[in-house]
Amino acid sequence: MLPSPESVAAIVAEVAAEELMPRFRHLEAGDVRDKGPGDPVTVADEAAERALTRRLAALLPGSLVVGEEAASADPDVVKRLSGDAPVWIIDPVDGTTNFAAGLPIFAVIIGLVQGGEMRLACLHDPVHGETALASAGDGATLNGRRIAVATPDAPKNMYGTVKLRFGERALPRRIVERCQNVPAFMDLRCAAHEYIALASGRLHYALYRKLMPWDHAAGNLLQREAGGYGAHLDGTPYRADGPDHSHGFLYAPDEAAWRALVEALIGAEPL
């Protein structure tokens, strides 16, 4: 039997209180380093991932773990997602750039996947005390209250976020040419906050291009359980162990709104 979302949330909140919040706005120069250009990691990321790995593995005996920092050190760790065992997917600090800069827009993301299917999601914002939970087939909650995606509208009235940095450049050029068809984009530099906003109706849509599982697997389940729709721009569904389709993945309140946004942002011509 899988653990309850609430038992996972309790562990996540405790680890965030012990490992993240005491270090927030108290990092020293040696506490931050770059894994790559524009990709920082802090001692808080590493300490929180160690604690979460230990406690979540103990919560579900026989489970495996794919943590962002472990996968950075050994990319083969991600292959665990393709097996039959349940796998915890951990992003100990989503929004590390914000965290390191002292900006209160970061969160912990936990997902549980088995056989390629997402079973459980927990997104915890320790600064504002918000915890979004979802389990497959049981809906989504925010601090215990049921949540739902925004009401569909015309693209000109829908607010969202679009990530243009990664991948090939044909799609960004197309979107830049057509961006006046929707209100100005917003970017929180924290997928967890954006997924919570999507699932609770604060944002209508999001288009992501770099689909690392620790950033997106749990959020995908949360948005879907809140009643939303999402697909790769080629129409295929999301899988935590699937390929990272370079053209991106679009979320919307429903399939009709998704198609309207594709037309508004990208147009009918093939990329």
What are the structural domains, with CATH classification, of the chain?
5-146 (3.30.540.10), 155-265 (3.40.190.80)
Confidence of residue 69 (pLDDT cuts 50, 70, 90): very high
Cβ neighbours, 10 Å, residue 4: 13
pLDDT of residue 147: 98
| pTM of the predicted model over 0.75 | yes
- Of 181, 165, 177, nearest to 264 (Cα)? 181
64's enclosing H/E stretch is strand 64-67
Mean pLDDT of 132-139: 97
Q: How far apart are CA 224 and CA 125, in angstroms?
A: 20
Mean pLDDT of 96-108: 98
DSSP string, 186-202: ---S-HHHHHHHHHTTS
Q: How far apart are CA 49 and CA 53, in angstroms?
A: 6
Residue 232 has pLDDT above 90, yes or no: yes
Q: What is the mean pLDDT of the chain?
A: 95
Using a pLDDT cut of 70, give the percent of the chain over it: 98
